[in-house]
Amino acid sequence: MEAALLELKGVTKRFGGVAALNGVDISVTRGEILGMIGPNGAGKTTLLNCISGVYKPDAGEIRWQGMPIQGMRPHRVAKLGIGRTFQIVKPFGSMTVRENAAVGALFGSAETSLSVKQSFEQADRVLDLVGLRSKAGSLVTALTIPDRKRLEVARAVATQPKLLLLDEVMAGLNSVEVDEALEMVRAVHATGVTVVLIEHVMRVIVGVCTRAVVLDFGHVLAEGEPRVVLRDERVIQAYLGERYAKRLNADRGPDGE
């Protein structure tokens, strides 16, 4: 088996007396798209924060290409090749779309230090990739919510990551916008970027993820192939609910297929 690109062993993070993460073991293989699901408060965003250096775990180990990185500062994690987005997008409001993406390129992976000119060229390539090239000269204040989410992804991709952590980039989007965002994720992945995404839209998990991990109360409840995980009774009870179970049973038909 190929060695894990990213490996978490026993990762624990407490806030006061509450364990947001409690002994989490997860590995991410190079080239996969890993979906992370679970109820609100399950610890999903906390996990991304620990990986990206926003939080320091209270216990456990996070290894990136075999090297421990737990407790490392966010800018150093980004230099290693781990990019991420945030649930609440915060672009630089006084800058254009192109300038925002160029900032990501300027302060990205340490493997390729870019000049200002090269950073803008990288920004143009990334904006093409996410479908924002036509709005490159616009101020971000003029962007719609879906386009701001695209820009959030563009800034992260502009850092030239090996691993991209996406935190609910499809939240609040309508069905058509979700389809467009799915194509964007596929396009980014096709460039060779490994992806971990948090999502509540199950057709995204089934449609694009090669594997799914379910978190519940800071523990890994289940993991595996998405369609199998979504049929797990523990996952239905803890997260998906009876309405989902009834719809799933209806889709299976009288023979359970």
Q: Do 130 and 198 share a structural domain?
A: no
Handedness of CA 85, 170, 157, 226 (dihedral sign): positive
Chosen domain end from 141, 161, 181: 161
Burial class (CB in 10 A: 0-12, 13-18, 19+), 23: middle
pLDDT in the model for residue 255: 43
- Do 72 and 87 share a domain, yes or no? no
Determine the pLDDT at residue 112. 67
* pTM of structure: 0.91
What string of pLDDT tens digits covers the 257 residues of the chain? Answer: 567 999 999 999 999 989 999 999 999 999 999 999 999 999 999 999 999 999 999 999 999 999 999 999 999 999 999 999 998 888 998 999 999 999 999 887 766 678 899 999 999 999 999 999 999 999 999 999 999 999 999 999 999 999 999 999 998 899 999 999 999 999 999 999 999 999 998 889 999 999 999 999 999 999 999 999 999 999 999 898 877 766 766 655 444 44
pLDDT at 256: 45
DSSP string, 17-31: TEEEEEEEEEEE-TT
Give how many domains the chain has, as a whole number: 2
Residues 22 and 86 placed together within one structural domain of the fold: no
Up-side HSE of residue 212: CA atoms within 13 Å toward CB?
26
Which pLDDT belongs to residue 252?
56
The answer to whether residue 182 is domain-embedded is: no
Domain that holds residue 97: 82-161
Q: What is the reported pLDDT for 172?
A: 86
Q: Which residues pair with 166 in a beta bridge?
A: 197
* 243 and 168 in a common domain: yes
- Kindly state whether residues 56 and 90 are assigned to the same domain: no
Residue with tokens 């075999």: 66
